[in-house]
Amino acid sequence: MPSSGSSLLVQFQRLASSPDAHRRGRKLEELLEKLFQQAHFRVQRNAGISTPRQTDLVTRYGDTWYLIEAKWEKDPVDVSVFDAVRARMQRAASSSVVGVIISVSGFRKSAIEDLVQQRAGRPILLLGEEELTRSLDSPELLVNLLRLKQEALVTHGRVHRASAPQTERAVRPSTDLDAADVRLVDAALRPIPYVRGRGDFSDYVYTQELPDVDWVTGGGSGVSLDLPIRAFDEDGIAELLYALASMGWMTTQPRWNIQQATTNWHGIGAREFLDALRAWGQRFDGLDRVHHTEQITYFDVCQGGGFYTLSADVASDESRIVRRCNISFQLVGVPVDPHPLRHLFEQFDATAAGYFRPLATRAVIHRRAARDVPLEAVGYLVASDPFSLDLAEIHPVEDSSDAVPEEWVTGIIARNPFRGGADLPAPEDWPARVHTSELLVCDLRSHHPLDKLPDAYRLDSWQHAQTTDAQVFRPVADW
């Protein structure tokens, strides 16, 4: 059954075939009224906001009024239409009136240049045929589209149009993102950029920290929120990482997993993730088989309690097209101030409206190992001891070169003892998504110095949580 938005688009397409220009113009106004209503605007036709001049449509969303002028003529709209809309806006009693000109036949270049030059007054936003058809197909996109247009005009002095030629976007360097403060080393204690092991497409990610949004004093349950993001390509993922960092939603220990048909790459750090993502050719070297798409799963914690996963499908070729990208949050509750989330939504022209949804089950599952399961360590997660740095400040040494912080093992990379085909059956509630993974990246319950490796490790416990797109898994080892 077609959606209400799709039916509006069908009506527009039928209207486009009509030879009666007068009828097209009149029906377009009726169609726009339905569009704004379905986008949850308050709508009035032929309102007296600019009396004695008549206005096609006046709509309101929140505290902002929009004065709508619709044109479906043979030629593109010229500056005279812009002047007429400005005159009507000046007669409006409210100062928070924004003009919107919708023209199926487009706009003359000279009119657009005039609009930019006179942007210091009340803003006028432009919608061409491509943006109109997109909005008719998905009315929920209209609010954010108008906000993007107003921000582009007021803040950047440019007209945001879907049909306008796209300017070359600067490639964000990974070096401007924080590097991880935990490093990976192999069994010989040599540094490695990431952990590579056998695996498939399972949409999971390991972590050393998994906040439990149910662990609060108040009653009720946590909430989830999904934001589908228009990332377009690999560089769009970089833009998204920068946005998350600028909002304070990035730590120095985010975890990530890049998945191909037979191989997974696990790592730590936003900078390291972007470097590994861009070095796809190097990662694919020597693989048995390369699928046309690779999947990424990225995890980090939020300020104030909670976490998010970023999941995307990226083309395994030079285009690096992102076919799907979604951020899934789990929070302790609905924020009193939702503006940071709204800003993220607006910045990336999220493809659907977002909703907070209460979690129906416990957010994090906790389990302890019921039997002794030995783990074979093939690598280590190493961090500097902050206490040794504090002591160095209190008792400085004469030669500063001797003030090297002691390094501690905070996690291990172990072979998965329950991998498919293994003799050891997986325990109850063991996440099925890691069944094919060759490796486990484990947190270490009891840390130890890097130069004092124990004889053996064992599985102690595990925790896991499920977002819309991914499973977050925290296996814990001890020695």
Positions of E strands within 93-211? 97-103, 124-127, 183-186, 191-192, 195-198, 204-206
In 330-367, which positions are buried (b, 16+ CB within 10 angstroms) versus exposed (e)?
bbbbebeeeeebeebbbbbebbebbebeebeeebbeee
385 and 350, same domain (yes or no): no
384 and 285, same domain (yes or no): no
351 and 396, same domain (yes or no): no
pLDDT(52) > 50: no
384 and 400, same domain (yes or no): yes
Q: Are strands 374-375 and 364-368 parallel, antiparallel or unpaired?
A: unpaired
DSSP 104: T
293 compared with 343, residue with greater pLDDT:
293
272 and 394, same domain (yes or no): no
Positions of E strands within 187-262? 191-192, 195-198, 204-206, 223-228, 255-259
**Contact assessment for residue 291 and residue 315, using Cβ atoms and an 8 Å cutoff:** no
272 and 406, same domain (yes or no): no
pLDDT class of 397 with cuts at 50, 70, 90: low
pLDDT score at 386: 58
Would residue 313 count as lying in a domain?
yes
16 and 151, same domain (yes or no): yes
- The residue range of the domain holding 37 is 4-156
Over the stretch 268-313, which tens digit does the pLDDT of each residue have? 999 999 999 999 999 999 998 999 999 999 999 987 789 999 999 9
pLDDT(402) > 50: yes
Mean pLDDT of 315-338: 92
pLDDT class of 162 with cuts at 50, 70, 90: low
341 and 386, same domain (yes or no): no
Would residue 199 count as lying in a domain?
no
26 and 149, same domain (yes or no): yes
141 and 213, same domain (yes or no): no
Would residue 177 count as lying in a domain?
no
**Alpha carbon 351 to chain centroid distance?**
11
437 compared with 167, residue with greater pLDDT:
437
Q: How far apart are CA 290 and CA 30, in angstroms?
A: 51
Would residue 135 count as lying in a domain?
yes
Would residue 183 count as lying in a domain?
no
CATH of the domain at 120: 3.40.1350.10
What's the domain count of the chain? 3
Would residue 51 count as lying in a domain?
yes
Would residue 179 count as lying in a domain?
no
**Contact assessment for residue 267 and residue 276, using Cβ atoms and an 8 Å cutoff:** yes
219 and 334, same domain (yes or no): yes
pLDDT class of 218 with cuts at 50, 70, 90: confident
Would residue 138 count as lying in a domain?
yes
pLDDT(479) > 90: yes
Over the stretch 411-430, which tens digit does the pLDDT of each residue have? 999 999 999 766 788 888 89
317 and 409, same domain (yes or no): no
Q: Categorise residue 286: left if φ over 0, alpha if ψ from -120 to 50, beta otherwise.
A: left
Q: Categorise residue 181: left if φ over 0, alpha if ψ from -120 to 50, beta otherwise.
A: alpha
